[in-house]
Structure 1
Amino acid sequence: MGSLATHFSAFLFLFPIGIRRLLSSFSLYLKSPHLFRSQPWHLSQPAWKNIDLYVLLIALPIAAFSEFFWFITFSGHPTYRFTFFLQSSVLFLLWVVIISVVLHVNFDFFAVQENLLFLFAGISFLIEYSITDQGYTGLAGRTYELLGALTLVSAASCIVLSIKPTAFFADVVLSMSLVFKGTWVLQAGLYLFSDAIAPKGCHKMPLLPVDGKSDLDCVLEEDRLRGVALIDLLFIVHAIMIFILNFLLFGVLSYKRNLRASGAGNLLTAEIESESMLMRSLPDFEIEISQV
């Protein structure tokens, strides 16, 4: 169950969070690799830069209530109705994580273990994985199967970080999986719910399927097979682009940090040379005074 609008909303939720985590993780690691420690949410200064955290604090409960409302009122196939309930549970768990982060930041008395927050996030991703491809077959099933694989990677990364928060590689994999999930869920929405981008010979998937197995309406089996091959190719292209983006971000941040370090080093060298020249001139000055 879904639409192009819901997939685009998921993209707006996942992609910025993933990019933010990548930038923050790389910056912390480059600053002090030996002291790196992952955080459920990397806060920025000044406080207004954390506006996205508070947007999620408002948006997640609205999305969770919407999914629960569909669960109550939906009269279609039971498969989709149960999916609405589990999606609502996932959003609610993520909302609990966000609330815990906000309380931990703003109130000193509210102490919460970061390992526990990562564990909650991992559980929510596992629940999402269990329902990702439920009710879909063929082209749609393959599309959501790949999305489920990315969700499983996110869950595994969160569980690793709950055990070892200093695992830089796991933090980067989590951030990349969120970016990848964002771009792929948008690709899925365009591929499945838009006639303009649907595979040749296929029509977009209905919003309210009658049975428990929904898929694109393809005229020939060859069109369906061609569509599956195209999905796999698009997934590989997305993966390559995400890896390129990852290396570019790390390279740019590393270059900027080295540039700042070089500038600070040159300034320190200039100050030392200035002090050294001043100290050399002091004996001459003292000799002149003694002669007088």
Structure 2
Amino acid sequence: MASSAASSLATHVTASLILLPLGIRRLLCCTSLYLADPSLYTSKIWYFSQPNSKNTDLYTLLIVLPLASFSHIFIFLASLSGSTNPTYTFSFLQHSFVIFLFWALLLLIILKESFHLYSFPDNFVFIFAAIAFLIEFYMSGRGFVGLGGALYGILGGLSIACAACCIILSVRPSAFFAEFLLSSGLVLKGTWVLQVGLSLYTDAFGLKGCAKISGLASPKGELDVKCELEDDRSRGVALLNLLFVWHIIVVFMANFMLFGLSNRNRNKRSGGEASGPLLAQIGGSGDISMHPLTEFELE
């Protein structure tokens, strides 16, 4: 059963390594674009880099996500012959489907921008992203109860928050607060999914008095962290809630500090006056459109 726990831990670490850079980069890009001129800010489905960088982040995800999806399918097939809980086994297949949805979202973004598929407006892409987050919420932690259910319940709540932000952006692309919360939510999902993996599938970072989840079948077909005493379980729930509060505090403090530093650096570069490629483009044509996959209006 150790291999099942190791596989679950690996999936959580991988998800964290994908979500954290994605959320941080989106936060940096939307903040820079907003500070250029708040009155003309419009959220983007993807913040494309300068031509010389060739958008390596986007194409890296196009390669990594299918590999992650296929690895989940492989683990699912390998687990069918074991004695693990069926719910635990099928969770790998569910994760594979969720990863495929977000991969399809990236394909939709590339097709839209590369082949000028303007029949699919940005709000349609945001709606698709919201649906993907809602499906992720529905499948997150299914079959887990107790401490495991609490951890995955928080992760599902973050998915709901990201879905709500995507819906707001589909209706009002100029809502910077929704973009800021979406980016912060991605960062928070990245830190919390790592916390879930460490708390549930390792002994070193597990809760005191509780064993890690092994995936063994239970009489009720449910998965839970096995604690020696009920006091250990209660203490674990309180500790998890405190940990999540600290995650929120640290992430949002870091985000607001980043926002302040970006504003300060921009004022130093421009001498207190708004300038840069974005405003130069706006001043010349009154339009903020950009050539697909070739430029992003960052200073």
- 8 Å Cα contact 2:267/2:273 also seen in 1: no
Equivalent of residue 171 in structure 2, options 147, 163, 176: 163
Deviations 1:165-210 (CA, angstroms, capped at 9, x unpaired)? 111111111101000000001111111111111121112111x331
1:64 is matched by which residue type in structure 2?
Answer: S
Shift of residue 33, structure 1, vs aligned partner? 0.8
After superposition, the Cα gap between the structure-2 partners of 1:47 and 1:81, relative to the gap in structure 1 and judged at 3 Å, is farther
1:172 is matched by which residue type in structure 2?
Answer: F
SS at 1:233's partner residue?
A: helix
1:135 is matched by which residue type in structure 2?
Answer: G
Equivalent of residue 152 in structure 1, options 141, 145, 160: 160
Q: Distance in 2 between matches of 1:49 and 1:259?
A: 28
After superposition, the Cα gap between the structure-2 partners of 1:7 and 1:229, relative to the gap in structure 1 and judged at 3 Å, is same
Q: Distance in 2 between matches of 1:173 and 1:254?
A: 18
| Structure 2 residue 189 is the aligned partner of structure 1 residue 184 | no
1:195 is matched by which residue type in structure 2?
Answer: D
Deviations 1:81-121 (CA, angstroms, capped at 9, x unpaired)? 55344322222221111112223343346763211111111
Aligned to 1:34: 39
Instruction: Select the structure of larger CA radius of gyration.
Output: 1
Equivalent of residue 254 in structure 2, options 245, 248, 258: 245
Q: Distance in 2 between matches of 1:26 and 1:14?
A: 18
Alignment of 1:257-276 (within 5 A): 257-262=266-271
TM-score (norm 1): 0.84
TM-score (norm 2): 0.82
Q: Distance in 2 between matches of 1:87 and 1:120?
A: 18
Aligned to 2:291: none
Q: Normalized per residue, which structure has more helix?
A: 1
1:28 is matched by which residue type in structure 2?
Answer: L
Q: Distance in 2 between matches of 1:109 and 1:4?
A: 39
2:217 is matched by which residue type in structure 1?
Answer: V
After superposition, the Cα gap between the structure-2 partners of 1:214 and 1:109, relative to the gap in structure 1 and judged at 3 Å, is closer
- % identical aligned pairs: 48
Shift of residue 10, structure 1, vs aligned partner? 0.6
Aligned to 1:269: none
Equivalent of residue 98 in structure 1, options 106, 130, 149: 106
SS at 1:203's partner residue?
A: coil
Q: Distance in 2 between matches of 1:108 and 1:163?
A: 21
- 8 Å Cα contact 2:105/2:128 also seen in 1: yes
Q: Distance in 2 between matches of 1:187 and 1:28?
A: 31
| Structure 2 residue 229 is the aligned partner of structure 1 residue 224 | no
SS at 1:217's partner residue?
A: coil
After superposition, the Cα gap between the structure-2 partners of 1:109 and 1:22, relative to the gap in structure 1 and judged at 3 Å, is closer
**What's the RMSD between the two structures over aligned residues?**
2.1
Shift of residue 246, structure 1, vs aligned partner? 1.1
Deviations 1:122-150 (CA, angstroms, capped at 9, x unpaired)? 10110110121211111111111111111
Q: Distance in 2 between matches of 1:108 and 1:229?
A: 51
Number of residues of Structure 1 aligned to a counterpart in Structure 2: 264
- 8 Å Cα contact 2:72/2:93 also seen in 1: yes
